[in-house]
Homo-oligomer: A and B are copies of this chain.
């Protein structure tokens, strides 16, 4: 359970400063904006790279934020933790995504962030990026749009948690993660990455791990999905969409 210091600059590797325009995740998520707007990106706010093992803390509720991370490889997630240990996962970040875009506007998080899998990030200096926002309106627009799209995700999730059954919640989560990977070009021939444990799913959907196990079994028995070791195959997308219906 030992954790690397979240902002220990001695841990940041400076070798290999691939410019965004030739980076393998350069066309994904937020990196795309970097690339489009700033010809020399990631200069000048780039601080190097950092890697994390599985399930390592990137920041906590009490962290003061000086750096932001953009995912290069692997998955990260944000979550809230109550004092008595209940966890609610808020969102997942895939390659190309900023782990917490709102840090660019306010530095006091009310949630924590972890690596879900082995993770590699590009690290940027918050202050320098803020300054860039002030000078470059179209860059600022991208940052705002990123924050707002997270807000829209939250709205869908509120509907899910408040008004959907377990089956529906799970179907929607699977389809959500599929479409996210599809839109980010991370989907390889019908198989999507699915590194969540059942406990992660439970803490995302407001269920218990045991119940998630049962609903997943049902999905498998009905041949809606097929899952093994970190990947998931959607066998019957129409039936899944049927289950997820009621939304808009």
Chain A contact residues, CB within 8 Å of chain B: 61, 80-84, 86-88, 90, 102, 105-106, 110-111, 134, 137, 144-145, 147-148, 150-152, 154-159, 161-163, 203-206, 245-248
Contact B151 A88 (CB under 8 A): no
Copies in the complex: 2
Give the one of A145, A155, A205, A245 with max B CB within 10 A: A155
> A86-B163, A137-B134 are contacts. A151–B154 as well, Cβ < 8 Å?
yes
Question: Cβ of A137: which chain B residues have Cβ within 8 Å of it?
Answer: 134
| Other-chain residue from B106, B148, B158, B245 in contact with A158 (beta carbon distance below 8 A) | B158
Question: Cβ of A83: which chain B residues have Cβ within 8 Å of it?
Answer: 245-248
| Extra inter-chain contacts (7) besides given A102-B148, A161-B162, CB under 8 Å | A80-B156, A80-B248, A83-B246, A88-B158, A90-B155, A105-B145, A161-B161
Q: Report the bound CA distance from A90 to B161 in whole Å.
A: 12
Contact B82 A163 (CB under 8 A): yes
> A87-B163, A163-B86 are contacts. A155–B154 as well, Cβ < 8 Å?
yes
Question: Cβ of A206: which chain B residues have Cβ within 8 Å of it?
Answer: 161-163
Contact B105 A148 (CB under 8 A): yes
Q: Report the bound CA distance from A110 to B157 in whole Å.
A: 13
**A183 to chain B: closest CB distance in Å?**
17
Q: Report the bound CA distance from A152 to B56 in whole Å.
A: 24
Question: Cβ of A105: which chain B residues have Cβ within 8 Å of it?
Answer: 144-145, 148
- Across the interface, name the chain B residue whose C-beta is closest to A154: B154
Contact B162 A88 (CB under 8 A): yes
Contact B155 A80 (CB under 8 A): yes
**A142 to chain B: closest CB distance in Å?**
11
Contact B145 A154 (CB under 8 A): no
